[in-house]
A and B are shown apart, each in its own frame.
Chain A
Amino acid sequence: MSTIRVLVGTKKGAFILTSDGKRTRWKVDGPHFGGWELYHLKGSPADPDRLYASQTSSWFGQVVQRSDDGGKTWNPPGTKPEDLMGPDGMPKGQSNMFLYDTSAETGKPLTTHQHYDGSQRPWEFKRVWHLEPSLSDPDTVYAGVEDAALFKSGDGGRTWQELAGLRSAKGHLWQPGAGGMCLHTIVLDRAHPDRIFVAISAAGTFRSDDAGKTWRPTNKGLASKYELPDPDAEVGHCVHCITMHPSRPNVLFMQKHWDVLRSDDAGDSWHEISGNLPSDFGFPIAVHAHEPNTVYVVPIKSDSEHYPPDGKLRVYRSRTGGNEWEGLTKGLPQQDCYVNILRDAMAVDQLDPCGLYFGTTGGQVYASADAGDNWMPIVRDLPPVLSVEVQTLP
């Protein structure tokens, strides 16, 4: 029987939740890296025992952790005894070194972005928001960072190089959202190995078709009338999350600051599919593992009230690719619930029926083993949940 492993990043450490394929009895392991913020953990699709984790602290900065045994043991890449020293005799220890590329050879990237007050500020690394392992190589992994940029490691996280062409895509007009100017979403495309989608707050979505060398904004159809009066603004949109089903790589779904949207042409254009949602504000968006037209969102009341409408925690499911949504409530609190679900905190497994998981800022991780019809909490009292990823193991 399959095993499900749920990787949970919280404000005070990481937790690993495991169950057999029935998904009714769970083992909770953790905290790992107790006291640190774990923005994101994710496993390699090419080697499920290879996990990457982003560990951060306002005091001590960024640490990247790697496990080669499914989360039993962890090391910052490049700090094991056998790879301690470089050829110059200096310690490597570069797994947390994210230097913005300022070389002329890679496109003379811009060195400033827009600040809240409209002034230009230099890029300054703060943390890794998202780690996206390659679909085919366990040693290749992408990191989305704040201030927004995309880095790539080809040596298992020991060293990182910026894919600097991204910042050339009108980077001088990007600006921080309330959570900072972060690259939070990375979507890889198995059907087009050189294609990468990213999303940035508050800049929008971007696509590369040449493995990250060059990029262009893909935000046509996004409307942000109070933030961006120009209806044709190419960048500056506060995209919260995008997702795709691997069987249909030209179809993307987006949860924006306001509005849920869909693209049928790989991001070239977008149209709204909010339909009958009680609120089209929210953070995560996910697609069913086996039904590419079944989409999930968790509506939040508003941008100034980050909790569910009416105190009722409801996941909304559309089986029609958007516009027609049904609220899923069985097992979820339907009164006095004022938690939020952050952008990286919802994921699906690959079993049939598809399992769906999300974590809340109240420390609960909820699971559904039947595509959202029924829910149960796996744990209730973790620190605020920042991210949830799921591995389906044979």
Chain B
Amino acid sequence: MIRVMLPTHLRTLARVDGEVTLRINGPVTQRAVLDALESRYPMLRGTIRDHVTHKRRPFVRFFACEQDLSHESPDTPLPDAVVTGAEPLLIVGAMAGG
């Protein structure tokens, strides 16, 4: 199972506490995780990436295993530790504004 940690506001919007766990069939990439996340929680569509272009929103970042994966291709496989569930994929609201 893939573990995903959402920022506070998106946990509230999706009405979840703590981490979300997702089952992914096939390669575990950012795109696959976000597809599964939005399928389970449709209210998150458009809040992490654009509805149509699927580009990451500017003030949203992706981290895992102490690495910033925000600029990785959405089709790049995520680290093994995320694939095995040892580490979560962190979706983070960037530090910006007030």
Contacts and interface: CB of A to CB of B under 8 A. Distances in A.
B82 interface: no
Interface residues of B, number: 25
A63 B43 contact: yes
A156 to B, nearest CB: 15
Contact of A84 (B9, B42, B59): B42
Contacts of B93: 59-60
Nearest to B10: A60
7 contacts: A59-B60, A59-B93, A59-B94, A60-B93, A63-B13, A63-B47, A93-B43
Nearest to A33: B12
Interface string B1-45: 000000111101100000000000000000000000011011111
B5 to A, nearest CB: 15
Q: What DSSP secondary structure best describes chain A's contact surface? A: loop
A253 B92 CA distance: 46
Interface of A: 33-36, 57-63, 75-76, 78-79, 84, 90-94, 96-97, 99
A284 B97 CA distance: 27
A57 B94 CA distance: 12
Interface string B49-86: 00110000101100000000000000000000000000
Interface of B: 7-10, 12-13, 38-39, 41-48, 51-52, 57, 59-60, 93-94, 96-97
A99 B51 contact: yes
A59 B9 contact: yes
Contacts of B46: 61-62, 93, 96-97
A79 to B, nearest CB: 4
B9 A93 contact: no
Contact of B45 (A36, A57, A59, A91): A91
Contacts of A97: 45-46, 51
A35 B9 contact: yes
Given A58-B59, A58-B96, A96-B45, A91 B13 contact: no
Contact of B42 (A33, A57, A79): A79
A61 B47 CA distance: 6
Given A63-B47, A91-B38, 15 more contacts: A33-B12, A35-B8, A58-B59, A58-B97, A59-B7, A59-B96, A60-B10, A60-B48, A60-B60, A61-B57, A76-B13, A76-B42, A78-B42, A79-B43, A93-B43
Nearest to B57: A61
A92 B52 CA distance: 13
Contacts of A84: 42
A84 B42 CA distance: 7
Contacts of A61: 46-47, 57
B57 A93 contact: no
A78 B45 CA distance: 12
Contacts of B48: 60
A318 to B, nearest CB: 39
A91 B47 contact: no
B13 A93 contact: no
Nearest to B39: A91
A96 B45 CA distance: 8
Contact of B47 (A60, A75, A94): A60
Nearest to A83: B42
Contact of B57 (A59, A75, A79, A94): A59
Contacts of B59: 58-59
A78 B16 CA distance: 18
A63 B15 CA distance: 14
B96 A57 contact: no
Contacts of A79: 41-43
- Interface centre among B8, B12, B46, B52, by most chain A C-beta atoms within 10 angstroms, is B46
Contacts of B41: 79
Nearest to A95: B43
B9 A94 contact: no
